[in-house]
Structure 1
Amino acid sequence: MSNISTSATELVESLDQLNQQLLIFSATLKNSTLPFWLPGVTATTLQQAADLYTDICYRDGRDGRTTISQHGLIGASPELIEATLRLNQAKAEFQRVATHYHLSESTELQQELRRRSETIAGLLHRQGASRIHLKQCYRRIPVFETCPTKIGFSWYTSGRSIRKLTPREAEEMLLKMDTSQPHIQIQLQAVGQLRPGDMLAQIQRQVPVMRANPVWKQKDSTLRKAQNTSLPIIVALNSDNPTLPAYNEPPLSPPEARSRVERSDLKIDPQAFLPSLRVHRYLG
């Protein structure tokens, strides 16, 4: 019991720090007079932008596995840059503490923080919040402390994660399924015919993400730094010429088809070998 109490105390203190930085950041952002761009929104105000960044609670009807995504650009003064950096530090510290105490697996700690999250929602003038949304607490706000010459936005739809499996590991995963089903039996027979040294690839397609491609042109060089972005980028603007860098406006929705051409030397069979596990064989 004392361990839960100690954990909850440190978590609440960390959450209080996060809350304080959220409020400072939100107030600083809403007082900004610098230009900004949020696509697909009419009559946009900085209050709407602040809501995107400070939304750290679940809402009714929202899938807890997903986060709200929105790209764009927010021109920033030195004060807003500093507030952003401090908020990101508070996010990192809360993630460290929450991960250390396995918050995502602890019902007791989640209940302890639920009351505090309702207080946060009230301070941010938000209704309907029920509990902390960990993914949205953890994700950092993208920030450029120097203004790029231009920023290109594009949808990345070809992302996937690949996990290598041995035949034995694949068999163990299949045995945890309903082995009375004919399609599972067929897959067990198939994996049983593999040699011990064979390797398999379990493929997970990733959801489309917006990618930002900023370019900084200097006297003798050009710096590029591509990164995924699920929130508008905070961009430091030149006080002498406070204008946003050049940018394009991509479609609001990702393309349905893959835009990348399949490689001719692809080493993974595109046909699933064990469909129930999304497992493929290596070619050659």
Structure 2
Amino acid sequence: MDVQYRLLAELEAAFDQVIQSIENLLAHYDDATSSAWALDTPRPDAAWLRRALLDFWYEDGQDGRATRSYVGLIAANDTLLEAVSETNAAKDRFAEVLAQIREQAADLIPEIKAVLPFRHPALHDHLRGQGLARLHLKQCWRHLPVADAPLARVRLAWYTSGRSIKRLSVREAERKLLALNSDAPHIRIQLRRLAGIPDGEPLAQVQRQAPVMRANLFF
């Protein structure tokens, strides 16, 4: 239990640092003078950037693999770049502690997703008011991408990386199907087919990856 309490305290401190570093970054972003572009809004102002950087949440019923995308470009000066670097360092620290928890106290993960938002009342009010369900841990440690040098041109294009393939046992596949509407005809057909497959037969769950926007950078 001492190890669990220590790891949880370290993660809470790391999460606080992620939030504080983002708030510092936002304080240096002046939407009146910064050159910026976003796919989903004609003016990516400070409110848009705050929404993008602090979107750490699952919506009710959201697929655990899904994330919401914020596609945009911001011309950053040295001060803003330093703030981004500090934010990415804080995210790295959060990821390090989370990896230790997964190795040493994995049963803490559900508690973490529910408890961490309460540490920041404004974030918790947003969580509750927007119909959002729980913390999306991956979004907490994903880096903010930065170009390696000043850019001459950027070309954006939709990209699909193919398929994801996950190994499943017959019993795991059966549980996934039973968690759906087992009265649906197509589910009943799949359950009948599973019943004729030996328990030791390996199966694969194949899913198409969602398209993402890729930026091709020219220096």
1:139 is the counterpart of 2:138: no
Equivalent residue for 1:129, pick from 121, 127, 132: 127
Counterpart in the other structure of 1:118: 121
Judging changes above 3 Å, is the alpha-carbon distance between structure 1 residues 145 and 29 closer, same or farther for their aligned structure 2 residues?
A: farther
1:25 is the counterpart of 2:25: yes
Letter in 1 for 2:126: G
What's the C-alpha RMSD, in Å, of the aligned pairs? 3.3
Q: Secondary structure at the match of 1:30?
A: coil
Q: Is the 8 A contact 2:156 2:213 kept in 1?
A: yes
Deviations 1:46-79 (A, max 9, x none): 33123212333456x5736332212121000011
Q: Is the 8 A contact 1:8 1:112 kept in 2?
A: no
Range moving further from structure 2, 83-92 or 169-178: 169-178
Judging changes above 3 Å, is the alpha-carbon distance between structure 1 residues 14 and 183 closer, same or farther for their aligned structure 2 residues?
A: closer
Gap runs ≥5 in structure 1 = 217-284
Gap runs ≥5 in structure 2 = 129-133, 179-187
Counterpart in the other structure of 1:38: 38
Q: Is the 8 A contact 2:57 2:135 kept in 1?
A: yes
Q: Is the 8 A contact 1:11 1:98 kept in 2?
A: yes
Q: Secondary structure at the match of 1:143?
A: coil
Counterpart in the other structure of 1:100: 100
Q: Which one has the bigger helix percentage? A: 2
Q: Is the 8 A contact 1:29 1:50 kept in 2?
A: no
Q: Is the 8 A contact 2:174 2:194 kept in 1?
A: no
Per the normalisation by structure 2, the TM-score is 0.73
Aligned length: 199
1:53 is the counterpart of 2:53: yes
Per the normalisation by structure 1, the TM-score is 0.58
Q: Is the 8 A contact 1:58 1:129 kept in 2?
A: no
Q: Is the 8 A contact 1:174 1:188 kept in 2?
A: no
Counterpart in the other structure of 1:251: none
Structure showing greater Rg: 1
Q: Secondary structure at the match of 1:19?
A: helix
User: Distance between the aligned counterparts of 1:64 and 1:20, measured in 2?
Assistant: 28
Judging changes above 3 Å, is the alpha-carbon distance between structure 1 residues 118 and 100 closer, same or farther for their aligned structure 2 residues?
A: farther
Counterpart in the other structure of 1:63: 62
